[in-house]
Amino acid sequence: MTEMTASVTAARPPSDINKRSLPGSLIIHALLIAASLLMLYPLLWMVSASVRPENEIFSSTSLIPSSIDLSSYARGWVGLDVSFGRFFWNSLVISLLVVTGNVIACSLTAFAFARLRFAGRNFWFAIMLGTLMIPYHVTLIPQYVLFLNLGWVNTILPLVVPKFLASDAFFIFLMVQFFRGIPRELDEAAMMDGCSAWRIYWKIMLPLSLPVLATAAIFSFIWTWDDFFGPLIYLNDMNTYTIQLGLRTFVDSTSASDWGGLFAMSTLTLVPVFFFFLFFQRLLIEGIATTGMKR
């Protein structure tokens, strides 16, 4: 095996390697389709609920609505004081900032933990993992007071700035695991050539880590898109609300809720996330895998 020429190959589906029989392939497809329907049923129900007349939502059990009524979408979009378009925009801005912050800061930190040796590394790594374990409800009040004293409450700063400071230990840990999977020989060769740590990070590590960076980007985006507790606490002005916060104002347990509007807007909110995912997954899948070092 070591006789093979080392080269950088693109990861392609090995369709020519594992030739399988047609029945086997059909079975797998059948299973996947069945599984897909199972996965999708709740979502299909929600989409169906968003286009049917309001008083039919809970009373009818079938997926097919008796008539298509798009008023839920219209109502949901403009029904609140602030149009939903505003919420979309706010969510988009925050999510994109968070993605940027996470990818940059966490990759820097992970590189340090995975590749560099320095005194106290294991200690700091343990601390970093420790931050992953703290449930946020508890540091909530002290952090709120801290941000209040900084004057950041009612802005998006408390939601965004921590990400640029690598507060998401999940991604640090994820990237560490991936970086450790990349052969050290490349680093060592570069170091022998006199590369600084930064060049190794920038020229070697990052390009080889596109799958994990794409993963981190996708997750960052989606989790931020879905987060409501942070915005609940830090965003007072309705004009700054994010989508999830906006969605929750559709539902109040003590008075009339607008379920049709909720489902319509929930369906809409899936769209950008879905496309974000579609776009980045190509990076993920068509990422580059190495077999070894260049000779």
Partner 1 sequence: MSNAMRTPAGAINVERYQGAVAEGRFRRLWNANAPGYLFLLPWLIGFFGLTLGPALISLYLSFTDFDMLQSPRWVGIANYVRIATADPKFSAAMHVTLTYVVFSVPFKLTFALLVAMALNRGLRGLPIYRAIFYLPSLLGGSVAIAVLWRQLFASDGLVNAALSHFGIEGPSWISHPNYSIYTLVALSVWQFGSPMIIFLAGLRQIPQDMYEAASLDGASKFRQFYKITLPLLTPVIFFNAVVQTIEAFKAFTPAFIISGGTGGPINSTLFYTLYLYQEAFGNFRMGYASALAWILVVIIAIFTAFSFLTSRYWVHYDD
Partner 2 sequence: MTLRVSRRNFVAGGATLLSLSALGTSALAQEKRLRLLWWGSQPRADRTNKVSQLYQSKNSGTSITGEFLGWGDYWPRLATQVAGRNAPDVIQMDYRYIVQYARRGALAPLESYMPAKLNLDDFDKAQIEGGSVDGHLYGVSLGANSAATVLNTTAFKEAGVDLPTQATTWEEFARMGAEITKAGKRKGMFGMADGSGGEPLFENWLRQRGKALYTADGKIAFGVDDASEWYDMWAKFREAGACVPADVQALDKNDIDTNTVSLGKSAAGFAHSNQFVAYQAMNKDKLALTNYMRIKADSKGGHYRKPSMFFSVSAQSQAVDLAVDYVNFFVKNPEAAVLLDVERGIPESSAMREVVAAKLDENGKVPLEYVSGLGDLAGKLPPPPPAGAGEGELMLRNIAEQVAFGQLSPADGGKQLVTEITQILARG
Q: Is 70 in the site for partner 1 (CB under 8 A)?
A: no
CA nearest to 292, candidates 181, 186, 180: 186
- Give the distance, in angstroms, between the CA of residue 55 and the centroid of all CA atoms in the same chain: 35
Backbone torsions φ then ψ of 136, nearest 5 degrees = -75, -15
36 binds, among partner 1, partner 2, none (CB under 5 to 8 A by kind): partner 1
* Two tokens, residue 188: 């060592």
71 binds, among partner 1, partner 2, none (CB under 5 to 8 A by kind): none
| Local structure of 9: helix, strand or coil | strand
Task: Please report, as residue ranges, which positions from 264 to 283 form the binding site for partner 1 (by CB under 8 A).
Answer: 266, 270, 273-274, 277-278, 281
Cα(45)–Cα(26) distance, rounded to whole angstroms?
28
In the complex, the smallest distance separating the C-beta of residue 288 from partner 1, rounded to whole angstroms, is: 9
295 binds, among partner 2, partner 1, none (CB under 5 to 8 A by kind): none
Is the CB of 128 or the CB of 233 nearer to partner 2?
A: 233
Backbone torsions φ then ψ of 288, nearest 5 degrees = -100, 135
Is the CB of 64 or the CB of 133 nearer to partner 1?
A: 133
* Two tokens, residue 173: 């840990």
CA nearest to 125, candidates 91, 76, 176, 52: 176
Q: Is 167 in the site for partner 1 (CB under 8 A)?
A: yes
Cβ neighbours for 281, distance < 8 A, ≥ 6 positions apart = 214, 218
User: Among residues 252, 278, 279, 286, which is the contact residue for partner 2, using CB under 8 A?
Assistant: 252
Q: Which part of the chain contacts partner 1 (CB under 8 A), choosing from 69-77, 87-95, 234-242, 260-268? A: 260-268
66 binds, among partner 2, partner 1, none (CB under 5 to 8 A by kind): none
Residues that bind partner 2 (CB under 8 A): 55, 58-59, 79-81, 140-141, 144-145, 148, 153, 232-233, 236-238, 248-259
